Amino acid sequence: MNFVLLLVFLVTRDGIQQRKNCWQDGVLGTNCPIPPGWNWTYQFQVKDQIGSFFYFPSLGLQRAAGGYGGITVNNREVIAVPFGKPDGDITLFIGDWYTKNHTDLRKALDAGKDLGMPDGVLMNGKGPYRYNTTLVPDGIDYETINVEPGKTYRFRVHNVGTSTSLNFRIQNHNLLLVETEGTYTVQQNYTNLDIHVGQSYSFLVTMDQNASSDYYIVASARFVNESLWTRVTGVAVLHYSNSKSKASGPLPYPPNDFYDKTFSMNQARSIRMNVSAGAARPNPQGSFKYGSINVTEVYLLRNAPPLTINGKRRTTLNGISYSPPDTPLRLADKYDLKGVYTLDFPTKPLDTPHRLGASVINGTYKGFMEIIFQNNDTTVQTYHMDGYAFFVVGMDYGEWTEESRGTYNKWDGISRCTTQVFPGAWTAVLVSLDNVGFWNVRAENLDTWYLGQESYVRVVNPEDDSNKTELLMPNNVLYCGRLKNLQKDNQVPHGSQSSSSFVTYVGGMLLTAMLILVSSAIFP
């Protein structure tokens, strides 16, 4: 698949594993930023993967300005899908939104401030339907999803927002969860589901209501004081072709659990893998028996609320705030440059002072790694790993201990690439390190990520000096940092920055260029 981008930044794709090919991953550890006015073509295979993913610009809060889109990878015809073919496929991007642009948001963070409350929740780049004349001003463009009565649609819902966990629901309709981030789930009905920043889900929704009116589609902020946040709720309209009137009345209620920490976690635990369904390959998803593999390395990654390092507000994992070197890590290895990064990421939190650094996790090729994310911050954080899907085997409140392993789900834990970690709680994941390269592990909440909560896992196959387990460096590689002299000026910057960006602002609201790449998983 060729992917031509006229962008002035890097683009990464949550969940697309870039097998053997971190050269195309589009984060600072693997790629130089694309200079303004230049173009760069990403080339990658979506191998052995099916499902719903999205791409977005990866640098400095640019996702807050848009530029994201869906990537849908379909099964090959010969592989059975564990549900009937839906009558339609609908992609919905939900996310919090600030009137301040991403450069101003960055300035706020640099000045040591919080981002504060967002100014809205957008659905497909559009504002809320006017469900309440006091709360929602007139004249806002809202999203309408047109459907036929009796039909079943696959809704692919992505939280592409900055930092807010959202509760997603459709008035009077069940959400039958079928897939998340490339894995078919045990199919279950939900009336609402919490979707945290960076997560993707597919639901089958049957239009089984009598079309006396349209219905609300709602995405509301989670774990916040509802009475303050109602004005930022995202509302779209589900319109039956035979609908008799507009949606009206109160929105469907969110879970009433402001003081109850268990509802959302139990819901998360209920999302499990359908072990008998085939995914990208004909063999069932459950045939990789992760529960019987011995763990070879354990990392307990503990965050902390933002703190001050060298006079700047930063966030940390195990006391280290990642500071990206100006030479990508992968290029440093390729050219044998020493001192770009250190391979000394601590396996557990240390009592040493917090510091900045480019400290990288030493992964072992073919190893089986256990990572426990311990959230000592006060808000939900989501953690993501590039290059892999991991098995989410446990989460609970309190401090993780060795005994916590007794509670792990060793059978049908969901395999995905982005997991939530509740405040004062931990989430444990298992990952099989079979993909060579440098792979970003990060907070998906953009403020936390920007302030330093990320690292990379380095996976090297010492026995491969050719291209068997890792593809060769692409011809169009860009150079920067200590290697910038290798860069040929082969591109004349053309146009201005704004003309080469596909993010368009219309009347203050943001339109997202939606690029849906539909392809078949490629089989070796």
Ligand X SMILES: *[C@@H]1O[C@H](CO)[C@@H](O)[C@H](O)[C@H]1NC(C)=O
User: By the criterion CB under 6 A, which residues form the site for ligand X?
Assistant: 4, 6, 39, 80, 82, 101, 103-104, 132, 134-135, 174, 176, 186-189, 206, 208, 210, 212, 225, 227-228, 230, 250, 258, 274, 276-277, 292-294, 343, 362, 364, 376, 378, 423-424, 466-467, 472, 490-491
Residues 31, 80: Cα–Cα separation, whole Å: 37
Instruction: Say if residues 471 and 330 touch (Cβ distance below 8 Å).
Output: no
Residues 93, 125: Cα–Cα separation, whole Å: 7
Instruction: Say if residues 313 and 306 touch (Cβ distance below 8 Å).
Output: yes
Rg of the chain taking only CA atoms, in angstroms: 22
CB of residue 499 vs ligand X: minimum separation in angstroms? 11
Choose between 43 and 144: whose C-beta lies nearer to ligand X: 43
CB of residue 126 vs ligand X: minimum separation in angstroms? 20
Choose between 73 and 170: whose C-beta lies nearer to ligand X: 170
Instruction: Say if residues 374 and 399 touch (Cβ distance below 8 Å).
Output: yes
Q: How far is CA 89 from CA 92, 157, 203, 285, 304, in A?
A: 10, 11, 10, 23, 40
Residues 72, 390: Cα–Cα separation, whole Å: 20
Choose between 95 and 349: whose C-beta lies nearer to ligand X: 349
CB of residue 286 vs ligand X: minimum separation in angstroms? 10
Quick one: which of 290, 256, 258, 494 has its CA closest to 392? 290
Choose between 14 and 167: whose C-beta lies nearer to ligand X: 167
Choose between 136 and 157: whose C-beta lies nearer to ligand X: 136
Choose between 14 and 202: whose C-beta lies nearer to ligand X: 202
Give the distance from CA 492 to its chain's centroid.
34
Choose between 14 and 340: whose C-beta lies nearer to ligand X: 340
Number of H helices, E strands in the chain: 5, 33
Choose between 144 and 187: whose C-beta lies nearer to ligand X: 187
CB of residue 53 vs ligand X: minimum separation in angstroms? 21
CB of residue 94 vs ligand X: minimum separation in angstroms? 21
Q: Residues for the chain: how many in total? A: 524
Helices (H), 91-225: 102-110
3-state DSSP call for residue 446?
Answer: helix
Choose between 6 and 356: whose C-beta lies nearer to ligand X: 6
Residues 132, 216: Cα–Cα separation, whole Å: 12
CB of residue 250 vs ligand X: minimum separation in angstroms? 6
Q: How far is CA 138 from CA 129, 367, 402, 467, 522, in A?
A: 9, 57, 56, 59, 48
CB of residue 356 vs ligand X: minimum separation in angstroms? 20
Residue 332: which residues within 8 A CB-CB, separation 6 or more? 325, 340, 341, 482
CB of residue 3 vs ligand X: minimum separation in angstroms? 12
CB of residue 174 vs ligand X: minimum separation in angstroms? 4
Quick one: which of 382, 167, 159 has its CA closest to 255? 167
Quick one: which of 437, 390, 360 has its CA closest to 293? 390
Choose between 189 and 352: whose C-beta lies nearer to ligand X: 189
The secondary structure of 476-520 as a DSSP string is T----GGGGGG--------S-TGGG---EEETTEEEPPP--EEEE
CB of residue 436 vs ligand X: minimum separation in angstroms? 12
CB of residue 100 vs ligand X: minimum separation in angstroms? 7
* The token pair that represents 119 in the structure block: 């100014």
Choose between 284 and 481: whose C-beta lies nearer to ligand X: 284
CB of residue 103 vs ligand X: minimum separation in angstroms? 4
Residues 161, 398: Cα–Cα separation, whole Å: 27
Choose between 14 and 451: whose C-beta lies nearer to ligand X: 451
3-state DSSP call for residue 269?
Answer: helix
Instruction: Say if residues 119 and 98 touch (Cβ distance below 8 Å).
Output: yes
CB of residue 249 vs ligand X: minimum separation in angstroms? 7
Tokens 């400095």 sit at which residue?
60
Choose between 14 and 446: whose C-beta lies nearer to ligand X: 446
The secondary structure of 49-70 as a DSSP string is --EEEEEEE-STTGGGG---EE
Most distant CA pair in the chain, distance: 69
